[in-house]
Structure 1
């Protein structure tokens, strides 16, 4: 096979991999980062660092695929941005960038790289936050509620809280002269994320209980119902720790503790219901389990619930909660391994199919 033919086959594979790349695929980075940080919180440092390096590779690969998609399938990407089901998935890029930045702070001590990732995630958050919701608002043709809302929308909350988490971590490791600014940004985003969760969750809860709900409708991102509250709990726990060196936050300490517990309890409430619905979906309705990139949206909440429970227990002296955090860590690690195996198998089959079938010509 000559060089020209090799390049052609490589381009075909890239087209196949990117033409319909799920906007929420950066949930892979979110999930891996959450499990890695939970391992670090439990002093499993070797595992935490292995997952950290895997996450760096995953993050870089996803950006390469995303840039290729922008160049080759720009019109499809623009259509995804205004799609009610796929559009909110782009917030996973924000959350993935911020979660990786948190790993750079805690696992590598690289605050400058983390600051760059924080700046990127904040910029993307501003662009997507106002771009996507503006596009939804001005659309003439809009889907009905039951066909337009899923748990993917809550990635907007996760993105907001992930930027707050990284700001709080940078505050704890950065020059004291910036402490007020970073604390204020983290606090503001923490509060706004909670408000946004209330807005979106009211719609989701209404959709759950007042519209027909088939097994096929219970897509994996509904686990973010819990995950969004878990990362909100983590953000609050970090602000509580930072309050010891920040008088402004210290004055709000009772408020911070109360709302952090509120977020944790809300996230915890969802777990039995989501487990019951999964049993109904796969056990009673017999819906088969097949790999989907959206399953990373199940791994992330499990890992983040473990991480936030450990941090809340330590920041508020609630040590009786630590065994719960440890239990969810091993559950999240198992879910991560299973999902990774499914992804590898799926990609292997897909790449072989991509070389055997002609890829549609990119839209202009």
Structure 2
């Protein structure tokens, strides 16, 4: 007889659980952009709470189980620690908590080199959608740095954000050649990051485009790069949605949170790019995509709770 599931769900969570923080956190950002402040704050509270739980578990493994820590640090999913931290920091900055957001940027930037080098050393051919987390984590740094640069008028942070933005695009190309396209029809959820990585690139680009640091040709280049990334992310969105409808995957998998995040990120990118890109129709599109993402989040949460109840009843 197998032992009952550990009721302490907060212990021993896999790195992929960081995608839940990213998913709920980016929904909080999008809800804020659309004026749904109460819902945004609820999502922020949930995201922050889960981030604290994962941070405590991360620290416990670092101090008490170095073998498991090193093994998990080599996997692309470990980069959700960086990405989740930047998403949370971005929402806190919108609340006016610039010091807390800056502290999270410093933490994410400190984690990035070690985790990135460990992940890249263990890259292989024919990977799942988690391969694109090298781009997502890097672009997350670009987004938060650009947001803080605008809030505090720090030009050096804007230049740092530009460097991360360009590096993230290069890393997207490196991940794309390793992505197993069969994941589109058979992936468990993280295959959506193929499009979500472009969405967060577009979000970073929109923040840079809105900055007064760049004018003339530099501004035009940033606007063009933003719109290209956003257009490609929308193409991925359509392709992945069609594949989901053609080959539905009904069972819950923790990697489904890596589906919710790109859905929310694409909505946020549209909402954020509308004004600096001079394309107001992107805003209503972003609002429609936002509620699709909210629905996906609720369904994923319900699937998780149903799966956990079934596991508890299992002898």
Q: Work out the CA distance in 2 between the residues paired with 1:55 and 1:215.
A: 28
What secondary structure is seen at the aligned counterpart in 2 of 1:194?
helix
Q: What whole-Å deviation, never above 9, does each CA across 1:157-213 have from its counterpart, x for those lacking one?
A: 111011110001101111x3xx22101100000011011101111232xx32xxxx4
CA contact (8 A) 1:240 1:256 kept: yes
CA contact (8 A) 1:17 1:351 kept: no
Q: 1:295 to 1:325 in 2, by over 3 A?
A: same
- Compute the displacement of 1:71 (Å): 4.8
**Alignment TM-score, normalising by the size of structure 1:** 0.79
Q: Work out the CA distance in 2 between the residues paired with 1:271 and 1:293.
A: 20
> Which of 239, 253, 256 is the equivalent residue of 2:208?
239
Pairs aligned (count): 311
Q: Which runs of 5+ in 1 are unaligned?
A: 1-11, 138-142, 357-364
Q: Which runs of 5+ in 2 are unaligned?
A: 1-5
CA contact (8 A) 2:10 2:54 kept: no
- 1:136-151 aligned at under 5 Å gives the runs 136=122, 145-146=125-126, 149-151=127-129
Say if 2:52 is the partner of 1:52.
no
What secondary structure is seen at the aligned counterpart in 2 of 1:319?
coil
Q: Work out the CA distance in 1 between the residues paired with 2:184 and 2:226.
A: 33
**1:120 aligned residue:** 107
Q: Work out the CA distance in 2 between the residues paired with 1:214 and 1:51.
A: 30
**Alignment TM-score, normalising by the size of structure 2:** 0.91
**1:184 aligned residue:** 159
- Compute the displacement of 1:350 (Å): 4.9
CA RMSD of aligned residues (A): 2.3
CA contact (8 A) 2:196 2:261 kept: yes
What secondary structure is seen at the aligned counterpart in 1 of 2:168?
helix
- Compute the displacement of 1:281 (Å): 2.2
**2:30 aligned residue:** 38
Q: Work out the CA distance in 1 between the residues paired with 2:160 and 2:289.
A: 30
Larger radius of gyration: 1
- 1:1-364 aligned at under 5 Å gives the runs 13-14=7-8, 18-19=11-12, 21-71=13-63, 73-82=65-74, 87-106=75-94, 108-134=95-121, 136=122, 145-146=125-126, 149-174=127-152, 176=153, 179-204=154-179, 207-208=180-181, 213=182, 217-242=186-211, 244=212, 246=213, 248=214, 252-282=218-248, 287=249, 289-350=250-311
Q: Work out the CA distance in 1 between the residues paired with 2:56 and 2:303.
A: 22
CA contact (8 A) 1:24 1:93 kept: no
- Compute the displacement of 1:351 (Å): 6.2
